[in-house]
Amino acid sequence: MEGAGLGEVLFVCAVSGLCAAGAAFFGRAAFADALDYLERALADRLRSLRAKPKRLRAWMHVWLGILVAIYLAIWLAGDLLILASLTVAVLAAGPWFLIRRMAIRRKQRIEDQLADAMVMFSASIRAGLSLAQALELLASECPDPIRQEFSQIINEYKMGKPMERTLREAKDRLRSENFALFAAALLASRESGGRLNDTVERISRSVLELQRLERKMRTETAQARKSAVYMAIVPLMVLVVYFFVDPVNSRLLFVTTLGQIVLSFAAILNVVAYFWAVRILNADL
């Protein structure tokens, strides 16, 4: 199931915020180390989306420059140091969070397509096709994005890489429990023989039942997830309403240090509450 990743988002906020501090207090080496870590993390997420992270370091420098410009603009325009820090922290975590969400959605689509792919694979084996021929059929007949994974497996096999190695690399690349079961069945069949189609059929039935339960859980918690979104939006709407009702006192939240601290804590607690609710509603089966 999809997770919210609150810990990761907050960690990236902290690391992104410490990049400038590292450059100022510990020198360029600490700044470069922080960027190296963020670059590796983002590159790993992009590879899971089958995107080539070309010139990622250059784009990171551009984004950091934009963040510094935004920070200075907010700070100097209204002496809003605390709100400037909060805004930059949120913007710094934005690309990471968006890429992570895209990777999770792609993985979920693969999970949804995997059961049908295993049924097709089992029918192909029963029809007399070899393991490689059955995988090639999946690579040509399955929809994206799972077709891309099977295409990579079969293309690497045709280039001379052993089938066992391609399956293990695909298992490590996808990080899917269902695909791990599928790959384990294929590897066990190649090593010790046995009725591969029966094994894959049993796995596919288990995956289909698990997907049915997940869909049922998502359907029954749909209203609660909408309520979590409303819960996150309502405080902002209330702030806007109060700004028109009582602009003098509402302005104190932005122009005074105490007001900025209160506003920042309220925003942080609101974000934490939203991700906490999403985490509870998207519990793993």
Tens-digit pLDDT profile for residues 163-207: 888 888 888 888 888 888 888 888 877 777 667 777 777 777 887
**pLDDT for residue 275:** 85
Query: How many helices (H) and strands (E) in the chain?
Result: 12, 0
**pLDDT for residue 29:** 65
Read off φ and ψ for residue 130, nearest 5 degrees. Answer: -75, 170
Report helix, strand or coil for 148.
Answer: helix
As given in the structure block, the two tokens for residue 99 are 């890429």
Strands (E) across 189-279 are located at none
**pLDDT for residue 285:** 58
Distance CA 231, CA 54 (A): 39
Read off φ and ψ for residue 264, nearest 5 degrees. Answer: -65, -45
**pLDDT for residue 2:** 40
Q: Which domains does the chain have, with CATH numbers?
A: 109-217 (1.20.81), 221-285 (no CATH)
**pLDDT for residue 30:** 63
**41: closest CA among 105, 131, 103?**
103
Would you write out the chain's pLDDT as a tens digit for each of its 285 residues? 444 344 444 444 544 554 544 444 445 666 677 777 777 777 777 777 777 777 777 887 788 888 888 888 887 776 777 778 888 888 887 787 888 888 888 888 888 888 888 888 888 888 888 888 888 888 888 888 889 888 988 998 889 888 888 888 888 888 888 888 888 888 877 777 667 777 777 777 887 888 788 788 888 888 888 888 888 888 889 888 988 888 888 888 888 888 888 888 888 888 888 888 888 877 665
**pLDDT for residue 59:** 82
How many other C-beta atoms can be found within 10 angstroms of the C-beta atom of residue 200?
26
**pLDDT for residue 11:** 45
